[in-house]
Amino acid sequence: MYERELSDKEERIAQSLPDKEFKKRYGKDWKAVKIATATKMAKNENFPPYKADQVQKVRYQASDTFTNSPKDAKKKGYLEGDTYEKMAAKGKKKGNLKQGTVRKRLKIKDGEKIPLSKITKAISKIKKMKNPSEKNKKYLKALNLAKTLKTTTHKENINEADPKKGTGKKPKGSGRRLYTDENPKDTVKVKFSTRQDIVDTLNKKSFKSKSHARQSQVINLIHQRVRAALNRAKDPDVKKRLRTAFDYIKKRKEASKKKTQRMKKENALTKGWWKEQLTEILSETKANTHLTHLEELVLTQGQDGYNQAKAFLYELIKNLKGEDNSIKNVSVKWDGAPAIFTGINPDNGKFFVGTKSVFNVNPKINYTSQDIDENHGHAAGLAKKLKLALQYLPAVGIKGILQGDFMFDSDDVETKDIDGITHYTFKPNTIRYAVEANSELGKQVIAANIGIIFHTTYNDLSGGGASFGADISGLSKTPSVWFDDAYFKDTTGILLSDEEEKFVLDKIETAESIEVDYNSLPIEISSNAKTNLLNTYLNQEIRKGEFITDPNKSFEMFKEWYQSKIEKAVAKISPKNQDKKRKQLEDKLKTFESKKDIVINLFKVSKLLSQAKNIFIAKYDKAVATKHFIDNGDGTLSVTKAEGFVAVDHTESGIKLVDRLEFSKNNFNAGKPGEKK
């Protein structure tokens, strides 16, 4: 047998391979096999998988990393293919990194998982070092590997049980077949030899009755099997048939993926999007002070906003049809001022009152009258109401922290004759509220020193943990304080008629038929805008008593409004830069003009949502106990609706239902009364 001369590298690798094992396995040809193996290994080519300890020994010696004894390595827990970093991450490498370095430095007990957050923080800390030591460099390698190990150490000692059936997850080493063993009764029999076979399979009742997740599994299975069959096929006719089948199932798979992504977005909207909105609101004011109008959602949130608005309309239909629905409650929006935050400060156990400034970086929390003078003395009217709240609210027995609208004090209540009936009235903001003097409610109002409506609950004074609604069932009744929650209380049994339901559904259907390419809108008028110009413009329309009467006209008026903004913006800068600024803004106006059709369709959808919403406002308004008026300025009153309502579902998601032409216009024109807080 011819034996060529080996290179130094081949010679070193050949010497590391155990003769005994090769002789035992390959007999008289052992030397040739050993040389061939060393040659391939030297070229970084694959080599036959000899016994594990042989491979281990070669790898250990070749890398100069681990011990020369495979048996000792095995006792120490080293596995085939382990690297220096892997052993360090396992806390087993001896040398520059002491045993258990990762665990020791992160203070994690042996056997416990290493939290990813701690690993990430440690990595970030080392990367910020200008000149990390060699020890820290090695530690960084160990941390990076620990991260790739999904923060689990001693993985070989963990007995991972199969997850519950139905999760669609298959642990490494599991013998379970996902498509047949998850639930045998849930199995769909599939055929995929031809395109028609696949079409027939996906049209089966057994397939269509499955959830989208299960359908996706079946589609993926067919896709995998057709792809494998196509790759194996040799006959041109068979290959052509399978290619047609594969192209079809590939399209179905892509469609399934898009649906999954859409469903994830919708799911995030129904369960998380509104909480995100609430968090965003709280981050600005640290208080629950604003909600979104239903018809604004398409302007500020695009397609996602439309989906959310549509979902709420469907649930409101169920709510007023007496059917099961996800609407947890409907709250009446009381037009009170100022907003009062009150209760027990969990940090010190003291009773306090305040405005939204209790959430400031330097909070203004009032425990005494002196605190109110110091924090709000510049606003006499506000200070007066806060002092009254501090005087009378402790008797109510608030345990946590509540937000409410201050409705009146005894000086605010007036007696008026309305349609020949004596009423007690009070006007905290824009709307004047009236209750009949001889009613039970009227007697409570005239006897009280202050009146307040509680509507939001907070966990602490950080501004987080806010939730819609206030549980007042545990509060103590006292004649000096008239209080209530904001929950809508229907004693009239209002229900949505079939005609009203059809009206709402027709509006939704029409909106569905209108195509709006939300992604093509310029940033300033898209859902990605910090302040959407279309939304800002429509508020101007409402001030004039209009709301998209004619979408085409509204678009032209929007352009005129933007042109006036251009002139104002240009006037503010130096003359030498005015031409350049004007050109920039006018180019932007031309961009808006190029998207005219999309904007007009967007206006149409927003108008349709508003019309559908108004049906619910009218129904809820009929059951509100108090009467509402607007002062005409000449001593007379005009009847108006309640400020509006807030519908909240079981996920604590809320939407504002306000007749904007009825109330928002009045609110804009009247301005917000009160003083600086």
Among 122-131, 331-340, 372-381, 628-637, the range scoring the smallest mean pLDDT is: 628-637
**Residue 655 vs residue 79, higher pLDDT:** 655
pLDDT above 60: residue 60: no
Please work out, in degrees rounded to the nearest 5, the angle formed at the alpha carbon of residue 383 by the alpha carbons of 378 and 388: 170
Q: Please compute the mean of the pLDDT values over residues 125-152 and round it to a whole number.
A: 76
What is the spatial distance between Cα 589 and Cα 567, in angstroms, rounded to a whole number?
13
CB 341 within 8 A of CB 358: yes
Tell me the C-alpha to C-alpha distance, in Å, between residue 344 and each of 282, 456, 527.
20, 15, 40
CB contact burial 81-109 (16+ within 10 A = b; e otherwise): ebebbbbbbbbbbeeebeebbbbebeebe
What is the spatial distance between Cα 609 and Cα 299, in angstroms, rounded to a whole number?
12
Residues facing 647 on adjacent strands? 330, 655
The DSSP result for 188-215, as a single string, is: -----SSHHHHHHHHTSHHHHTS-HHHH
pLDDT above 60: residue 277: no
**Residue 150 vs residue 301, higher pLDDT:** 301
**Tens-digit pLDDT profile for residues 487-502:** 766 555 566 788 888 8
CB 444 within 8 A of CB 408: no
Tell me the C-alpha to C-alpha distance, in Å, between residue 467 and each of 282, 352, 463, 473, 476.
11, 20, 11, 17, 22
What is the spatial distance between Cα 106 and Cα 609, in angstroms, rounded to a whole number?
55
Task: Count other Cβ atoms within 10 Å, centred on residue 419.
Answer: 6
pLDDT above 80: residue 660: no
**Residue 657 vs residue 429, higher pLDDT:** 429
Strands 450-458 and 481-485: parallel
Secondary structure (3-state) at 521: coil
Among 114-118, 160-164, 626-630, 650-654, the range scoring the smallest mean pLDDT is: 160-164
**Residue 352 vs residue 318, higher pLDDT:** 352
Residues facing 638 on adjacent strands? 630
CB 320 within 8 A of CB 498: no
CB 21 within 8 A of CB 50: yes
Burial (CB count <10 Å: 0-12, 13-18, 19+), residue 500: middle
> Which tokens go with 105?
């430095």
pLDDT above 50: residue 55: no
Residue 325: the pLDDT is: 54
Q: Please compute the mean of the pLDDT values over residues 651-667 and round it to a whole number.
A: 66
Percent of the chain with pLDDT over 70: 69
Q: Smallest Cα–Cα separation from 306: which of 318, 314, 317, 294?
A: 294
Q: Please compute the mean of the pLDDT values over residues 426-450 and round it to a whole number.
A: 89
**Residue 661 vs residue 214, higher pLDDT:** 214
pLDDT above 80: residue 323: no
> Which tokens go with 582?
């004007």
H or E element, residue 576:
helix 575-594
Model confidence at 285, in pLDDT bands (50, 70, 90)? very low
Helices and strands, number each (H, E), in the chain: 25, 14
What is the spatial distance between Cα 344 and Cα 321, in angstroms, rounded to a whole number?
41
pLDDT above 70: residue 464: no
**Tens-digit pLDDT profile for residues 606-620:** 999 999 998 888 877
Q: Please compute the mean of the pLDDT values over residues 278-282 and round it to a whole number.
A: 38
What is the spatial distance between Cα 58 and Cα 81, in angstroms, rounded to a whole number?
10
Q: Please compute the mean of the pLDDT values over residues 39-48 and round it to a whole number.
A: 60
Residue 154: the pLDDT is: 41
**Residue 568 vs residue 93, higher pLDDT:** 568
The DSSP result for 441-507, as a single string, is: HHHHHHH-SEEEEEEEEESSTTS-S-EE----TTSPPBTTEEEEE-B---SS-----HHHHHHHHHH
Residue 78: the pLDDT is: 43
Burial (CB count <10 Å: 0-12, 13-18, 19+), residue 668: middle
Model confidence at 308, in pLDDT bands (50, 70, 90)? confident
**Residue 514 vs residue 113, higher pLDDT:** 514
What is the spatial distance between Cα 403 and Cα 382, in angstroms, rounded to a whole number?
16
What is the spatial distance between Cα 114 and Cα 106, in angstroms, rounded to a whole number?
8
Residue 183: the pLDDT is: 56
What is the spatial distance between Cα 393 and Cα 367, in angstroms, rounded to a whole number?
12
Amino acid type, 403: Q
Tell me how long the chain is. Answer: 677
Residue listed under structure tokens 């599994």:
217
Provide the edge-to-edge strand list for the sheet that holds 421-426: 414-418, 421-426, 432-436, 627-631, 637-639
Residues facing 404 on adjacent strands? 340, 454
Among 32-41, 79-88, 371-380, 389-398, the range scoring the smallest mean pLDDT is: 79-88
The DSSP result for 85-105, as a single string, is: HHHHHTT---SSSPTTHHHHH
Residue listed under structure tokens 């007009």:
600
> Which tokens go with 262?
């859409």
Is this prediction's pTM over 0.85? no
Among 228-242, 567-581, 616-630, the range scoring the smallest mean pLDDT is: 616-630
What is the spatial distance between Cα 219 and Cα 140, in angstroms, rounded to a whole number?
43
Report phi then psi at 219, rounded to 5. Answer: -60, -40
CB 456 within 8 A of CB 356: no
Tell me the C-alpha to C-alpha distance, in Å, between residue 269 and each of 217, 602, 654.
25, 20, 11
Strands 327-333 and 644-649: antiparallel
pLDDT above 60: residue 17: yes
Residues facing 482 on adjacent strands? 451
Model confidence at 331, in pLDDT bands (50, 70, 90)? low
Considering all CA atoms of the chain, what is the largest pairwise distance in Å, rounded to the nearest integer?
125
Q: Smallest Cα–Cα separation from 457: which of 342, 348, 367, 346?
A: 342
Among 342-356, 443-457, 610-624, the range scoring the smallest mean pLDDT is: 610-624
8-state DSSP, 366:
B
What is the spatial distance between Cα 549 and Cα 665, in angstroms, rounded to a whole number?
15
pLDDT above 50: residue 639: yes
**Tens-digit pLDDT profile for residues 120-137:** 888 888 888 888 888 888
**Average pLDDT of the chain to the nearest whole number:** 76
